[in-house]
Every structure is written in structure tokens, then in C-alpha cells.
A and B are shown apart, each in its own frame.
With several copies, the nearest count.
Chain A
């Protein structure tokens, strides 16, 4: 009876989780999404605590309090640190799966409950959990620059990596046939932990976001496996939802970067494209002052702002808001063109711009704004590079060839804010900067934007 009630609670919880994700379809319904997921979680936890086979509470309470104490500060990180937070969170998720799998193994070892099926699933759960744990940690560390974010390679690296994984899997197979060979468990754990580190070593910091998204999928799968081990349908469902999300976000990123899925799916071996970095180009670029930029934009009818990774680095989103206000006050139509992989994680720019209070109906997606570009007077590119590189359209030899871009170059005038002529993420030159209708504004995005805004508001005060 009580088990049926618990089962019913899990069922309701699963429904609410699914509805939560459905409600993420628009910003209007998204707040309901969080509420629904929180309720779902509360129901699941309370139902679990009410189960008659859960008898010891005090240590659980202590662990939960500790977890909360760590979780709250982790939720207060600046938005620019969201990618590393996500990596850490994946790491914790993997750890939880691995710990529960291991614990369950030892319990069943005592009780004689080990079957080949169970040990097989536990092995997979532990392997996936451990590699997600160290992988997520490495990704977070590289993103936060706790360790050098550059790609570290050595001879026979791929062979070493693959061997670690194969060894762990073979031990898992061995356990299926010898379920009680408990010595294998710590070895599997060690191998999988090492594999997680080794897997991430050769990957440069810039490739981390894609990796994190895949780790998301892995964390989901390890939750599914935990659900199978514990015979818990709610865990299976929630894990599958998480896995699907990680998978789809990875697909979105790969597509928007025009890189084949397989490239990343099979462990993202290999380093970020090295590319032909700044090759001492002798052509000249035209640069302008913030004053020129302010003048140009205040006289325009339509301005489109293209934010990129540089805006995130410089934390210039609040200046962008001020610029938006100044221009809007003058009757200029200002929109933001957001490329799906601008920045370093999916939706990165949207969150930053939302943080600075820009109404989200002013954010346009690439497909919607490109046809309007020829009618735009001024495009202001704030720290974006690859996502406005026309080589993606024209230069078949370019590593980003075929990636859909924002057609900034088709506007009447293009203003580009960046600190130098250094390339962006993909390490390649950008023709856009040499165009006749392009003016460069060199400097830190926040500083340059501040100047422009000052000119505009000074002008406004003078008027």
C-alpha cells in the first residue's frame, strides 16, 4: 500500500518534471517551469523519506545541510562563470552516481544479491559516473583557469586514453561473469577517474563548452543506470530527460559551428583547431574613435548590435544597455542579433543581455535578422569575431566554412570593438575588419562602450 503511494508520488513527480521542461519553451512560462520542477523534487524526496525501508535520517540530514551550504554559494557565481559551474555540477552528478553504484555493489555483495545483470549495470554506472566526475572537474578547472586551459598532448595519447577505457570495460565484463570479484571495483573506479582526466587533457579551454554539454548527457545516462540498479522508474525518466537535453544542446552547438557530431561524440579527442593565426597581414584597417561611433549611431535609423564572447569577457553588457537606452531615446531602432554559438555556451549572450535588463523581444535570432541586414545603417560588433566572419560563406578552405553567420558585412557601416587584431575562438583571420565599410574601435569592450555612452549622454546633456 505504502509502496503504491510512493510509486504514485514518483509518477506525479515525473509528470511535473516533464511539464517543467515543456514550459521552458517560452520565457513567459519559464518561471512556472522552475516552480514545477521544485515541487516535483520535493514530492520525490518526501516520498522517498516516507518509505518504510528508509530508516536512518540524521546522517542524511547532515549531508543534505552540508550540500545546501555548498550549493547556495555555487548558485551565486557571476553569470560569466556559469560554464564552470555547470562543469562542477556535472562532476558532482557523476560522483553521486558512482558512489551510489559502488555502495549498492557492496550492499549486494554482503546480502548475496549480485546477479550478472546487476553487476553489469553497476559497472557501467560506475565507469560513466567516474569519468563524468573527473571530466567535469577538469572542464571546470580549465574554464576557470585554475589549470592551464591549453591543450596538452603527448605521444600515443589516444592509445593511452582508449586503453584506459577498454581496460575498465573489460573489468566490467569480468565482473558480469564473476559478480563477487570485488577487488575489481576499486580498479574500475581508478581507471575511469584517470580516463576522465586523460580525455580532457588534449582539449583546449575553448572547446570546453561542447564537452560540458556532452558531459551533461553522460551525467544523464549515469542517472538512468542508477535508476536501473535501484529499480526506480523516476530516476530512469529524469536521467533520460537530462541525457536528451545534453544531447540536443551538443547537436545545436555542433551544427551552429558546422562541425560533425562524431568529431565530438567520440570523446572529443584532438585539440581545438590550431588555424593560421594572425599571419602578419600587411593590409590596413580603418580605425575610429568612440566619438565617431557615437555620432554615426545617433544619426542612424536602424542599428543592430552583435555581441560576442568579448562582451562576456569585458562584462560590457550593462554598457550595451546604456547605449540601447541612449539610442532608443533618440528614436533609433536598436536590435541585438544573437548568434546561436556566440560566446562560450548555448544561449550565453541571451542571459547576459537579459541580466542587463534588455527586453528579450529586442533580441533577434540570426535567421530572422539576416534578411534585414542590407537595410541596417550601423552594425556594432561588440567582441564577436567568428560569428561575423564572412569567410564562413565564401572561403571553402576556411575551417569555419559552412557555419551560418550573422551577415554584419552587408550593413552600410560596421563598427567593431575588440582589443587587437587577434583572432577569435577558431584562430582565423576575419576579412570583415578589412572591408571598406568597416571601422575598428580598438580597446576593451567595457571601456570603449563606456566612452561611446559618455559621448552620447554628454551630448544629450549639452543639448
Chain B
């Protein structure tokens, strides 16, 4: 789609890495476990790549491989977001129930 050259890709990669390092450093230590599952979920945006290949209207092996990738990434996507939400819901400041 977009015009593209390797240097542009590297530029974006470089900047995104700096952004990543900066934001992750700011994450509360309390939340390192949910952070791990959230970034797992985020990296399952690879599903976009899988859809692009699987949906290209080709036949044969490449499509089947890409469908495998759709499956694998969807798994990550769903389980990653759900478990992150589940874990985060546990963090409460004030005591909400009587034990």
C-alpha cells in the first residue's frame, strides 16, 4: 500500500523503540505482570499481517499458513486482553468488601 523503503522502516523502528523504552520505564512495578500480558496482547496486532496475507485471495499453501497465523494471533489477542483485564480488576485502592 504505502510507498515504502527500508530506511523509513528503520526510522519508525528507531523512534518506536525510544518511545517503548520511555513508556515502559514509567510503568508501575505493581503492574509488571499485567504489563507482560498487555504487551503480549498488543503484539498480537500481528493478526493484521496474517489477515493481509490470508485474505489476499491466493490459493494453496501461503493462504493456509497465514490462516494458521490468524488463529495463533487471535488466541493471543483474546487471551491477552482478557487476562490483563482480569488481573487489573483485582487492583483496588480502598477495601471494597468485607473479608
Residues of chain A touching chain B, judged by Cβ–Cβ distance below 8 Å, are: 3-4, 6-8, 10-11, 13-15, 17-18, 20-22, 24-28, 30-31, 33-34, 37-38, 40-41, 44-45, 48-49, 51, 53-57, 59-60, 62-64, 66-68, 70-72, 74-77, 79, 82, 85-86, 89-90, 92-93, 95-97, 99-100, 102-104, 106-107, 110, 117, 213, 216, 219-220, 223-224, 226-249, 252, 321-322, 325, 340, 345-348, 350-351, 354-355, 357, 359-361, 363, 365
Contact = CB atoms under 8 A, between A and B. Distances in A.
The 4 A-B pairs at the shortest CB distance, nearest first, are namely: A67-B74, A244-B20, A71-B78, A347-B32
Contacts of A234: 45, 48
A92 B68 CA distance: 10
Contacts of B65: 99-100, 102-103, 106
A412 to B, nearest CB: 27
Contacts of B39: 21, 216, 220, 241-242, 245-246
Contact of B43 (A6, A13, A220, A252): A220
5 contacts: A7-B1, A71-B78, A216-B39, A238-B46, A249-B35
Contacts of B37: 82, 85-86, 89
A347 B72 contact: no
Given A223-B46, A241-B42, A249-B36, A79 B2 contact: no
Given A24-B31, A51-B1, A234-B48, A66 B71 contact: yes
A117 B6 contact: yes
Given A11-B7, A59-B67, A248-B24, A103 B61 contact: yes
Given A49-B51, A95-B69, A27 B45 contact: no
B51 A54 contact: yes
Contacts of A239: 16, 43, 46
Interface string B26-70: 111111111111111111111111111111111001110111111
A22 B23 contact: yes
A25 to B, nearest CB: 5
A104 B69 CA distance: 12
A83 to B, nearest CB: 9
Nearest to B45: A238
Contact of B5 (A7, A13, A71, A219): A7
A15 to B, nearest CB: 6
Given A249-B36, A351-B34, A54 B77 contact: no
B15 A237 contact: yes
A442 B13 CA distance: 53
Contacts of A243: 17, 20
B7 to A, nearest CB: 3
A222 to B, nearest CB: 8
B42 A89 contact: no
Contacts of A4: 5-7
A11 B11 CA distance: 6
Given A54-B56, A96-B72, A24 B48 contact: no
A100 B13 contact: no
Contact of A231 (B2, B30, B45, B78): B2
A200 B95 CA distance: 42
Nearest to A30: B88
A223 B50 CA distance: 11
A298 B70 CA distance: 56
A322 B97 CA distance: 12
Contacts of A6: 1
Contact of B52 (A53, A63, A224): A53
B73 A93 contact: yes
Given A245-B20, A245-B24, A27 B91 contact: yes
A14 B32 CA distance: 21
Interface string B76-99: 111111111111111111111101
A7 B48 CA distance: 13
Nearest to A117: B6
B40 A242 contact: yes
A68 B20 CA distance: 28
B49 A351 contact: no
